[in-house]
Amino acid sequence: MFPIQDTPSVKFTYDAEIITPENNFVKMSAASTSNSKFDQRVKVPAYLIALVIAPSDMVSHQKDGQMALTQTEEEQGKAVYLESSGSGPIFKYIKAMEEYLGVTYQWGNSFNVFVMPSGLDGGKGLQQSEIQQGMENPLLTIVENKVMSDGKLDASVLLHEMAHSWFGNLVTCATWSDFWLNEAFAVFAERKISRKILGAQKADRDTKQGIKEMNKDI
């Protein structure tokens, strides 16, 4: 996208203007100041810059912040952009994170999720994993289509990517060899809040699945 040092120790603010045909859906990992302009005032490393462009008629745009995504039959198979503000139900998770960690959410008054359309979620390699995939870009979390079950976002995936708002996005490892720290602390926070909100049974089940996947990788 642009020349920059690709290391987590170099963090910066940025603004951008995206020029694209008017009928396209455009979002970036920054606050929208207009339909095509974006501004990120919190310093981030290069790997957290993300840009989504798609034909508007291929994206189901939902603004209520609900985890249950409502799609008509015609919208099935489309991407979903879930826009959540401070008054939406998703923010109860953010409030729980804030209370547990003692640090305020630093990314404004929104938490947005882009769910990729079916068939475009990473290819065969990711699909073989039993762990659902996501990427924690600030203000634009991008997740695989398979995070939805019966039209509902998987709460554990959402909590994990949300935890990166503190671990990885706000406090970042110094080098790529230390990248595991971002994930380790995010998993720790995810499981703590999962146990509090979703219950011990759900948290324990996710822990067992995570250990199974880790052992498989090793």
Q: Where are the domains of the chain?
A: 60-217
**Neighbouring residues of 12: CB distance < 8 A, sequence distance ≥ 6:** 4, 43, 44
User: Is there a contact between 9 and 175 (Cβ–Cβ < 8 Å)?
Assistant: yes
> pTM score, two decimals?
0.86
Query: pLDDT tens digits for 151-164?
Result: 667 788 889 999 99
DSSP structure class, residue 205: H
Nearest CA-CA partner of 113 in 73, 155, 77: 155
Say yes or no to pLDDT of 114 above 60: yes
Q: What percent of the chain has pLDDT over 70?
A: 84
CA dihedral for 66, 70, 76, 79, sign (positive or negative): negative
Question: For residue 191, which amino acid is it?
Answer: R
> Which of 15-29, 51-65, 188-202 has the weakest average pLDDT?
51-65
- Return the structure tokens found at 194: 């999962």
pLDDT at 131: 45
Other CB atoms within 10 A of residue 176 CB = 12
Give the pLDDT band (50/70/90) at residue 95.
Answer: very high
pLDDT at 148: 67
pLDDT at 155: 83
